[in-house]
Structure 1
Amino acid sequence: MKIYILLVITSFTFGFLEKVVSNPSPRPYKAIFNLGDSLSDTGNFLASGAILFPVIGKPPYGQTFFKRATGRCSDGRLMIDFIAEAYELPYLPPYLALTKDKDIQRGVNFAVAGATALDAKFFIEAGLAKYLWTNNSLSIQLGWFKKLKPSLCTTKQDCDSYFKRSLFLVGEIGGNDYNYAAIAGNITQLQATVPPVVEAITAAINELIAEGARELLVPGNFPIGCSALYLTLFRSENKEDYDDSGCLKTFNGFAEYHNKELKLALETLRKKNPHARILYADYYGAAKRFFHAPGHHGFTNGALRACCGGGGPYNFNISARCGHTGSKACADPSTYANWDGIHLTEAAYRYIAKGLIYGPFSYPPLKISPNKIA
């Protein structure tokens, strides 16, 4: 009798374990939708014509992972690609290049390189129209999502169920709003631009929540004072203008100000939308780690000097940018954090993506990923 009971218990236990193993818990996200700029564009800018910056459609862009240019402003994958991989989802297809046979149920990318949080009208009135890469601002991208929505779900019940298991990335966006003003020399106007930029981001989040979004990840700005673009354009002979990492204090302080205002706005949004999870992605904190100690994170050629460029102290030359005549790419981009003076390398994006997914750079944390980023 004891042997019989033991056999029954053993059989039940193995049967239970078999079911657990063969039926793993479902992925926390069944789809990802992304709005933003060149930090997450997977091809929309190229599909839109790419009149002002066509070189991202040619080598050396894309050389590391895809072995071809894809419209990503890097040598390989972006943070959005690593996030998709971690949640066992395909790379997000660019909205402007969608075809009838493309699977959109697992996500779509609306980000466009050069995109701004504010509409083009703001820059035209400010006399900055000639600096705009694209007119496809955050509100335009939001309009694309609304247009696509009926193809994703039909009834409110279907949409609520579908979007409850979807992750929405709103940004990074706003960086170009500041870049265009800075490049034009309108430094004194930067701080005054922060409130309308943050307002545009929060308005987009409110609209996405109204459309059914329930989990939204909203990134802040990078430490732009560590960017080869800013380090070159605003190079100073005064050592006091730089921090211990060699970054420009004033511009990093500005990025921190933007991030502080964005976090305050997100806190207000959380109170107004208790049914949604609104997360903040700390790009600044994640990137500052490797800018402070690049060698410790594998960037043996540093974090300030660009891998691909046309010379100068930071290998950034506005007249010979990466991909243009007079520029050259380094032999091993994985040893650099900066790719082309404006954007980061795949290796740097991988590092930041890890910090977002597994901690500690998303607040509150993202849902547990089934896969670890290598």
Structure 2
Amino acid sequence: MTKSRSRTTTLMFDPRHNPFWVCVISLAIFIPSTSCTPTPPTLINFGDSNSDTGGVLAGTGLPIGLPHGITFFHRGTGRFGDGRLIIDFFCEDLKLRYLSPYLESLAPNFTSGVNFAVSGATTLPQFVPFALDVQIRQFIHFKNRSLHLQSLGKTKNIMDEEGFKNGVYMIDIGQNDLLVALYASNLTYKPVAQKIPSFLAEIKLAIQNLYANGGRKFWIHNTGPLGCSPKELALHPHTHKDVDQIGCLRVHNQVAKSFNKDLKNVCKDLRSQFKDAIVVYVDVYTIKYNLFAHPDVYGFEKALMACCGYGGAPNNYNVKATCGQPGYSICANPSKAIVWDGVHYSEAANRVVASAILSAHFSTPQLTLRQLFLL
């Protein structure tokens, strides 16, 4: 893991007027406090397959069964991967239930929050299932409906007003936009770079709309190293000139880094715009790239090879026999693989990434999720 980067965290909270800091100070000097019972945390998530806990299954009926889920759930849950996702590890750390998809019609439980993420989601085009703007409009309906049910005395398995007010609003989206643009440009950097501002404008608008509807705590993930994906490496013939020193496609990672640089600036602008909000930018790219650059450090092998797929080395990916389709096979030990199916990360990799994110070493400002909930 790379060394923690030094950052200055500026929080515009006077400890004399903030109950959280009163509690912290009280505990530090062993003075009992009767007002230190924090509100249970809630997560409200938006995104794509990186954090989809069953939205695409509920929304489209697309069967996502075994071998997806084989490591932890031992059944298909709608997650793309052999087990838990990064967001699942967040929930475990915060002692929350795993998030129910917004679209789940049978026995959902929204007491810990709600997940609007759907695999394949993009920022653009608008108004198609299930683009980011649609997820935001779903949230507004969800909030209004939840509060209406609360007013009628119906409180079972739904979020209350405090949950919406103090919840952390998470967004992890953009990789599908970048990949679609890359394919359309025949893997050329400049045309994709020209489209990035339009993708980011949608993310910025989403945060502004969430703020207008009461959100004050935002947790924004950047996108990972797309050029290290076994799927991308297998689909696009390349020479040594097309890859970097660890074998990842250069142009894919260049557009990802450009997107991330501008996303960080969007988060900075929003902090200036919304003085009473906290916008945390999380550098997931660096964490994930480190896995591919130093797999042995984390106990991984054959970094650029999918665990579940077809074709063997170097990438074990074939579009005609993807994970779960006729002809596929699974590696002997999924916990040694970074990538599960050529695109989505293994549970073992997600655990490492989640742990790094939760350390706050890759966040700007440098806050943990726990600290964000308490502010």
Please classify the TM superposition score into its range, dividing by the shorter chain length.
0.7 to 0.9
Counterpart in 2 of 1:13?
none
Counterpart in 1 of 2:143?
149
Change (3 A) 1:18 1:88: farther
Q: Is the 8 A contact 2:271 2:278 kept in 1?
A: yes
Change (3 A) 1:314 1:30: same
2:94 is matched by which residue type in structure 1?
A: Y
Q: Is the 8 A contact 1:104 1:152 kept in 2?
A: no
Q: Is the 8 A contact 1:105 1:152 kept in 2?
A: no
Instruction: Spell out the pairing of 1:112-261 with structure 2 (5 A cutoff).
Output: 112-119=118-125, 135-153=129-147, 161-171=162-172, 173-184=173-184, 186-188=186-188, 189-237=191-239, 239-261=240-262
2:241 is matched by which residue type in structure 1?
A: E
Matches of 2:283 and 2:161 in 1, distance apart? Answer: 28
Per-residue deviation, 1:368: 5.7
Structure 2: runs of 5+ lacking an equivalent: 1-28, 151-158
Matches of 1:211 and 1:241 in 2, distance apart? Answer: 45
Counterpart in 1 of 2:299?
298
Counterpart in 1 of 2:92?
85
Q: Is the 8 A contact 2:101 2:108 kept in 1?
A: no
Matches of 1:345 and 1:364 in 2, distance apart? Answer: 28
Q: Is the 8 A contact 2:143 2:164 kept in 1?
A: no
Per-residue deviation, 1:184: 5.0
Matches of 1:135 and 1:69 in 2, distance apart? Answer: 22
Matches of 1:78 and 1:214 in 2, distance apart? Answer: 25
Counterpart in 1 of 2:323?
322
What CA deviation, in whole Å up to 9, does each residue of 1:258-305 have, x standing for no partner?
001111111111100111100111110110111110011111x23211
Q: Is the 8 A contact 2:311 2:318 kept in 1?
A: yes
Matches of 1:228 and 1:25 in 2, distance apart? Answer: 48
Q: Is the 8 A contact 1:119 1:138 kept in 2?
A: no
What CA deviation, in whole Å up to 9, does each residue of 1:196-230 have, x standing for no partner?
10000000000001111111111111011111122
Per-residue deviation, 1:360: 1.1
Q: Is the 8 A contact 1:28 1:87 kept in 2?
A: no
Corresponding residue pairs, total: 332
Q: Does 1:46 align with 2:57?
A: yes
What CA deviation, in whole Å up to 9, does each residue of 1:35-94 have, x standing for no partner?
00000001110112245xx3xx21110001101110001100001101111111100001
Matches of 1:25 and 1:304 in 2, distance apart? Answer: 48
1:322 is matched by which residue type in structure 2?
A: C
2:52 is matched by which residue type in structure 1?
A: D
- Structure 1 runs (4+) deviating above 6 angstroms are 16-20
Counterpart in 1 of 2:69?
62
Matches of 1:365 and 1:29 in 2, distance apart? Answer: 22
* TM-score relative to the length of structure 1: 0.82
SS across alignment from 1:168: strand
2:78 to 51, 71, 78: 71
Question: Over aligned residues, Cα RMSD in angstroms?
Answer: 2.6
Per-residue deviation, 1:32: 0.5
Could you tell me the percent identity over the aligned residues? Answer: 38
Per-residue deviation, 1:27: 5.4
What CA deviation, in whole Å up to 9, does each residue of 1:4-49 have, x standing for no partner?
xxxxxxxxxxxx98978xx896457521010000000011101122
Change (3 A) 1:166 1:39: same
Change (3 A) 1:288 1:27: farther
User: Which of these two proteins has the greater Rg computed from alpha carbons?
Assistant: 1
Q: Is the 8 A contact 1:217 1:278 kept in 2?
A: yes
Counterpart in 1 of 2:13?
none
Matches of 2:355 and 2:236 in 1, distance apart? Answer: 31
1:211 is matched by which residue type in structure 2?
A: N
Q: Is the 8 A contact 1:79 1:350 kept in 2?
A: yes
Q: Is the 8 A contact 1:29 1:166 kept in 2?
A: no
Counterpart in 1 of 2:273?
272
